[in-house]
Structure 1
Amino acid sequence: MSAPDPGLPLGRQAFQANWSGRIAFGALVVYTIYAASHLGFSWDRFVTGLGQGGTFLARMFPPDFERTQLLVDGMVESLQIAILSSFFGILLSLPVGLLAARNLMPPWVTWPARTIIALCRSFHPIIIAILFVKAVGFGALAGVLALIVGSIGFVGKLFAEAIEEISLKQVEAVRATGAPFLNVLIMAVQPQVLPRFIGFATYQLDSNLRNSTMVGIVGGGGIGATLFTAYQRFDYDYVLAILIVTVAMIMVAEVLSGWIRKAFQ
């Protein structure tokens, strides 16, 4: 029998049981089972869905690329929506994120800015797109406005957090020279947050490329509208062609965004 560890207090184990964590995990498992039982989940339904899914996938092959012009027009419009929404969304998120930084701004400035960010982050882009479709009608304008709101919420929050994590020594050193606030931002804040901001911007462009497809389904223009129309007409082979082109565009954008991030690191 081994002797107790002299480095531990008498009667204390080296690895004590975390009963609070065990109870929380057990409660989570019980609630998961309870929620699943009230949402109509069943094994028979899952098996039936697999069969129907296989039939659906079989009808998608081979993909139909004959309507090339319609496909190209939809992808070009989605790309335009993503670029415009990313440009204006990131541009507007700069002052909002700066005003939300608590290490540079007083509370009476940060709270309204953080409220704007929270409101922009509260709803999915599809919900915002539905609101803008009702406001400005069907088309790309509704999609652009919806993704601008989403961009402000995402980039504004991350930009504010990046500013709050900077070293204040450089800020204080520039302030000691008597430089105005704008020069402090350019000389002390901007060099510290620029690489991270480039990463935020490129990621948001990727996100808007994906979301431009979703907002089109509810009337926000782009390839999403073409995809929804093809699905309603049971043109599943054309649906597959749209999905293939969409995935290819996202992969190209991912490669380009990675190259941009490396260029600014």
Structure 2
Amino acid sequence: MVAVSAPSTPFRASAASRAALLGVALYALYALSRLEVSWPRFLTGLDQGARLLGKMFPPDLRKGDILFSGMVESLQIAVLASLLGILISLPLGLLGARNLMPAGVSWTARGVVALCRSLHPVIVAILFVKAVGFGALAGVLALTVGSIGFIGKLFAEAIEEISPKQVEAVRATGASFANVVLFGVLPQVLSRFVGFATYQLDSNLRNSTMVGIVGAGGIGGALFAAFQRFDYGFVFTILATIVALILCAELLTQQVKKVFHV
């Protein structure tokens, strides 16, 4: 008779991975103790949050002009920043792909992308507010920098994962580098590019409401002012409108993905 060995346990963690998980758990407990996070404090926060929600009803619908102008400006900031970010990220992602570019070029491009990704959009917005003044321009520039940091990295990684056979076949015809990119690279990554771009637009819609808090245009300024006036009814109206806008954007991006089979 042939001895049948017992089946090994699937996905069995190695000693190193278990030690790493234990280390992460211990550090999380240490961080909780250092940050003064406690269950009573959490319960107190729930009670205060419930009272805050109670103050938001009924919603204030009397400031429709402020709400409409702020939301339109936030939408414009998000669309412009996404468009500029995508246009700049395409060449940066191509230059950052290590399977197409020399090491010096790819690392330089990746350094620029990493620099754009290093700071939160609110911090970048503060810098641009100081540079160009209050208003939508600072918001557009701040979100453009953030878009480059996110999309540029994903574009470069997507290009590095393509099959080299199609690229070599196009090169074998004596095509120029531009034609190699157009016919050998782009067809393999177009659907992923569309997915990245639609996600970034969705992200910029959220961030455009946030950078306004520091004076970079959009509905965030009106939201911050409503909080300062304790006008919680109008705060709820703004928040509900932002949620509705994000949901509409999600439905739109889903339709775009279907067109490109993403």
Task: Tell me if both proteins adopt one fold, taking TM over 0.5 as the criterion.
Answer: yes
Partner of 2:131: 135
Query: 5+ unaligned residues in a row in structure 1: which ranges?
Result: none
TM-score by length of 1: 0.92
Q: How far is 1:27 from its partner?
A: 2.9
Query: Aligned with 1:82: secondary structure?
Result: helix
Shift of the 17–79 alpha-carbon distance from structure 1 to 2, 3 Å rule, reads closer
Greater mean deviation of Cα atoms: 233-242 or 22-31 = 22-31
Partner of 1:107: 103
Q: Radius of gyration: which is bigger?
A: 1
Query: 5+ unaligned residues in a row in structure 2: which ranges?
Result: none
Query: Aligned with 1:64: secondary structure?
Result: coil
Q: How far is 1:6 from its partner?
A: 5.2
Partner of 1:35: 31
Greater mean deviation of Cα atoms: 226-235 or 21-30 = 21-30
**Given residue 182 of structure 2, which amino acid in structure 1 is its aligned partner?**
I
1:72-87 matched pairs, under 5 angstroms: 72-87=68-83
Q: How far is 1:14 from its partner?
A: 4.7
Partner of 2:56: 60
**Given residue 104 of structure 2, which amino acid in structure 1 is its aligned partner?**
W
What percent of counterpart residues are identical?
Answer: 64
Partner of 2:175: 179
**Given residue 157 of structure 1, which amino acid in structure 2 is its aligned partner?**
K
Please give the alpha-carbon distance, in whole angstroms, between the structure 2 residues aligned to 1:53 and 1:172. Answer: 60
Q: How far is 1:174 from its partner?
A: 1.1
1:1-265 matched pairs, under 5 angstroms: 7=5, 14=8, 18-265=14-261
TM-score by length of 2: 0.93
Any idea what the Cα deviations from partners look like across 1:57-85, whole Å, max 9, x if unmatched?
A: 10001111111011000000000000100
**Given residue 122 of structure 1, which amino acid in structure 2 is its aligned partner?**
S
User: How many residues are paired up?
Assistant: 258
Q: How far is 1:35 from its partner?
A: 1.7
Shift of the 262–51 alpha-carbon distance from structure 1 to 2, 3 Å rule, reads same
**Given residue 58 of structure 2, which amino acid in structure 1 is its aligned partner?**
P
